[in-house]
A and B are shown apart, each in its own frame.
Chain A
C-alpha cells in the first residue's frame, strides 16, 4: 500500500457480498440440468476508491467469472454487488445502461476484442454513440484524444484492427474503455496474451491512466509478479473461493494460506545460487462440478488435518487487514 493510502482511509467503491455463480450443465433429451459448475462460491471483497485490487488464481478458479458478474455481463446466481453504495445485482436494463458508463472492462484477448470490420477510431467512440454523448465530430475528437492517451496517433484512428500488433490492440481496448470516463475498470488478464516486453509497457500505461483519471481497478491475472507490480491489495482465489486477501506487502511478506505459499514458491528467482523451500502441489485442481467437502484445498494441501476435510473454514481476519480461510492459521 502506498503511504497516501495508509494515511487517509478511502471509502469503498465496490462491495461484493457472497457472490455465487453456478453454471448449469444440461444434458439428456429434455435438456434438464444434470449438474452445476460451481464457478464462484460465496466470494466477498471490497475495492476502495482509487486502489487496484489484484485477483490471482489458476485457470478455472473463477476469477474471470467474478469480473464479469460484477459488470453483469453474466448474471450472478446469488449474492450482491454494491457499486457506489447502490445495489446493482437487481438493476433493471435502463439503469444498467447508465451504470455501464461508470464500469468498464479490458479483455484478455486483444485479437478478438475489436470488431475487425470497424476502424479503431469508431470502436473507441462506440460507447459515446451508444450513450448519445456529444455530436459525431466531438465523439471523433474524444476518440482521438483517448488514442493519444494510450500512445497512438491521430492517423491510426481510421485504420482497421488487423493493421495493429497485439500490444497496440490492447491499448486500443484500453482507449475504448476510457472513452466513457468510467470510475472503475475490470482488467481481465490484460497482459497475459502479450509478450513480456510489451507487458510492462501496457502495465505502465494502466498505472499512468489510473493516476490521471483517478481510476479504480480490479486487476485479474495469473501472473504473481504482474500482480505485485500493479496492485495495492491482492486476493487469491482457489476453485471458486477466495482463500486469502491482504495488502500487497503483507501478502508477499507473510502469506498465510498454504495455497498462497505454494504459489509464492513457484515464482522464479533470477539468481542461480538462491536455495529455498519449494512447496510443490500434487495432483490437479479438482473439478468445480463436484468440489471437495470442507476446505476445497484439502485434497492438495501439504499440511491438511482432519478438520479440513470435514468443515469449511471461515474467511476471517487473521491479522489486521489480512483475511484468509484456513483452519490452521492462528
Chain B
C-alpha cells in the first residue's frame, strides 16, 4: 500500500519534471550554444550601458571643451574633476560620452527598423502566401523587382532627399517628442532617427516578406489548417492562430540577423554622410569623422568601429544560436 503510493508519487514527480513548454526547450538548447550565450551577455551589457548613458557619461554629448583637442585617455578635467576615459575628439568633445549616446541612437534605429520591417514582412508574406493566386503573383513580382535594385545608392538618394526636405514625410509630433525624450537627444535627433528607420525598414521588409511567404506556403498545406477550417475558422483566424505562431521560428532568426545588418547599414549611411548628422552622435558618423585624422591617429577609427563590429558579430551569433535552438529537426 505504502509502496504503491510512493510509486505513484514518484511517477507524478517524473511527469512534472518532463513537462516543458516549447519556450523552455528552446532556451535549453540556446544555452548550449556558447558563442551565442557570450554574445547575448555582451549585447545585454551594451544595452544596459547605453540605457544608463546619463548616469555613466560624465559629459554631454555635444559639450565642447575649448582648447582640449585630442587629449589622451584618462585625462582629468582640471576644473570639474571629470575623467575623459577615451580622450576627446578634434573639437574637444568627450569620446566616451559620445560613444554611449551614439549607441542609443544606433541601437534604437536598428531595433525600430527590425520591428517595422518584420511586422510588415509578416503581414504581407502571410497574406501573399496564404491567399495565393493573382494577389501572390503581383506582390511577389513587385518584391522581386524591388530586390533587384541595388540598395545602397537608392538608400543614399532617398535618405538625402528625406533629410533635406523634412516635411516630405510628416511624422506626428508626439511620437517625435516621446522618441526624443527616450533617446535623451531631443526631437531633432528623433526626427533624423525616424527618417533613417523609414529608409532602412522600407527596403528591409522585402526579404522578410519572402521568408514569411515561403513558410506560410508550406504551412497552409498541413492537415491542422484543414482541421481548423472544418471547425469553421475564417482565413483571418487561421492566419493569426495557426500561420503566424508556426512561422515565428524563422522570423525570429531573421530578426536577430537583421539587427546586425541594420547596425551596419545605419553606420554605412552615416559614414557616407547621408545618415544622422553631427552633432548628434551615431557610431557611423563618429567613424566618418575619424577619416581625416586617420594618418596621424590610426587607432581613432577603432573607437566607434569596435562597437559596430561587436554588435554586428554578436547579433549574428545570437541568430545562429536561435536558428539551432528553434530547429525542430533537433528534437530533444
A162–B228 Cα distance when bound, in Å, is 18
A71–B15 Cα distance when bound, in Å, is 39
Among B85-93, B98-106, B218-226, B303-311, the stretch that binds chain A is B218-226
Contact B231–A127 (Cβ < 8 Å) = yes
Q: A107-B223, A155-B15 are in contact. Are A115 and B246 (CB under 8 A)?
A: yes
Chain B: which residue is nearest A100 at the CB level? B232
Contact B226–A109 (Cβ < 8 Å) = no
Q: Is B229 engaged at the interface, CB distance under 8 Å to the other chain?
A: yes
Question: A-B pairs with CB below 8 Å: how many?
Answer: 68
Q: Is B5 engaged at the interface, CB distance under 8 Å to the other chain?
A: no
Q: B223: which A residues are within 8 A, CB to CB? A: 107, 109, 112-113
Contact B222–A112 (Cβ < 8 Å) = yes
Selected from A96, A101, A173, the residue in CB contact (under 8 A) with B227 is: A173
Q: Is A97 engaged at the interface, CB distance under 8 Å to the other chain?
A: yes
Contact A73–B21 (Cβ < 8 Å) = no
Q: Is A230 engaged at the interface, CB distance under 8 Å to the other chain?
A: no
Q: A118: which B residues are within 8 A, CB to CB? A: 241-242, 245
Q: Is A315 engaged at the interface, CB distance under 8 Å to the other chain?
A: no
Q: A100-B231, A126-B231, A127-B231 are in contact. Are A113 and B224 (CB under 8 A)?
A: yes
Q: Interface residues of B, CB < 8 Å — how many? A: 25
Contact B232–A73 (Cβ < 8 Å) = no
Q: A162: which B residues are within 8 A, CB to CB? A: 331
A130–B227 Cα distance when bound, in Å, is 12
Q: Is A245 engaged at the interface, CB distance under 8 Å to the other chain?
A: no
Q: A115-B242, A160-B21, A160-B22 are in contact. Are A130 and B232 (CB under 8 A)?
A: yes
A40–B162 Cα distance when bound, in Å, is 61
Smallest Cβ distance from B162 to chain A, in angstroms? Answer: 39
Q: A97: which B residues are within 8 A, CB to CB? A: 232
Q: Is B13 engaged at the interface, CB distance under 8 Å to the other chain?
A: no
Chain B: which residue is nearest A116 at the CB level? B246
Q: A105-B227, A105-B230, A155-B15 are in contact. Are A130 and B245 (CB under 8 A)?
A: no
A130–B18 Cα distance when bound, in Å, is 31
Chain A: which residue is nearest B16 at the CB level? A155
Q: Is B38 engaged at the interface, CB distance under 8 Å to the other chain?
A: no
Selected from B19, B230, B241, B248, the residue in CB contact (under 8 A) with A104 is: B230
Q: Is A117 engaged at the interface, CB distance under 8 Å to the other chain?
A: yes
* Interface of chain B residues 231 through 266 with chain A (CB within 8 A): 231-234, 237, 241-242, 245-246, 248
Q: B233: which A residues are within 8 A, CB to CB? A: 126, 130
Chain B: which residue is nearest A109 at the CB level? B223
Smallest Cβ distance from A190 to chain B, in angstroms? Answer: 12
A274–B13 Cα distance when bound, in Å, is 53
Contact B224–A127 (Cβ < 8 Å) = no
Q: Is A298 engaged at the interface, CB distance under 8 Å to the other chain?
A: no
Q: Name the residue in B19, B232, B242, B248 with the highest tally of chain A Cβ atoms < 10 Å from its Cβ.
A: B232
* Interface of chain A residues 194 through 228 with chain B (CB within 8 A): none
* Interface of chain B residues 148 through 193 with chain A (CB within 8 A): none
Instruction: Return the CB mask of B75-100 against A: 1 if under 8 Å, else 0.
Output: 00000000000000000000000000
Q: A117: which B residues are within 8 A, CB to CB? A: 22, 245-246, 248
Contact B224–A114 (Cβ < 8 Å) = yes
Contact A115–B232 (Cβ < 8 Å) = no
Chain B: which residue is nearest A68 at the CB level? B226
A163–B234 Cα distance when bound, in Å, is 28
Contact A115–B230 (Cβ < 8 Å) = no
A5–B97 Cα distance when bound, in Å, is 88
A126–B229 Cα distance when bound, in Å, is 11
Contact B229–A73 (Cβ < 8 Å) = yes
Q: Is A241 engaged at the interface, CB distance under 8 Å to the other chain?
A: no
Chain A: which residue is nearest B233 at the CB level? A130
Chain A: which residue is nearest B225 at the CB level? A115
Smallest Cβ distance from B237 to chain A, in angstroms? Answer: 6
Q: B237: which A residues are within 8 A, CB to CB? A: 130
Q: Is A159 engaged at the interface, CB distance under 8 Å to the other chain?
A: yes
A96–B229 Cα distance when bound, in Å, is 11
Smallest Cβ distance from A64 to chain B, in angstroms? Answer: 11
Chain A: which residue is nearest B15 at the CB level? A155
Q: Is A26 engaged at the interface, CB distance under 8 Å to the other chain?
A: no
Instruction: Return the CB mask of A149-174 against B: 1 if under 8 Å, else 0.
Output: 00000010011101100000000010
Q: Is A39 engaged at the interface, CB distance under 8 Å to the other chain?
A: no
Q: Is A180 engaged at the interface, CB distance under 8 Å to the other chain?
A: yes
Smallest Cβ distance from B136 to chain A, in angstroms? Answer: 13
Q: Is A176 engaged at the interface, CB distance under 8 Å to the other chain?
A: yes
Q: Is A90 engaged at the interface, CB distance under 8 Å to the other chain?
A: no
* Interface of chain B residues 195 through 227 with chain A (CB within 8 A): 222-224, 226-227
Smallest Cβ distance from A100 to chain B, in angstroms? Answer: 4
Smallest Cβ distance from B220 to chain A, in angstroms? Answer: 12
Smallest Cβ distance from B21 to chain A, in angstroms? Answer: 7
Q: Is A131 engaged at the interface, CB distance under 8 Å to the other chain?
A: yes
In addition to A73-B230, A97-B232, A100-B230, 14 A-B residue pairs with Cβ atoms within 8 Å of each other are A98-B232, A103-B230, A107-B227, A112-B223, A113-B226, A115-B224, A115-B228, A126-B231, A126-B233, A127-B232, A130-B232, A130-B234, A163-B19, A176-B227
7 residue pairs bridging A and B, Cβ less than 8 Å apart: A73-B230, A107-B226, A126-B233, A127-B232, A130-B231, A160-B22, A173-B227
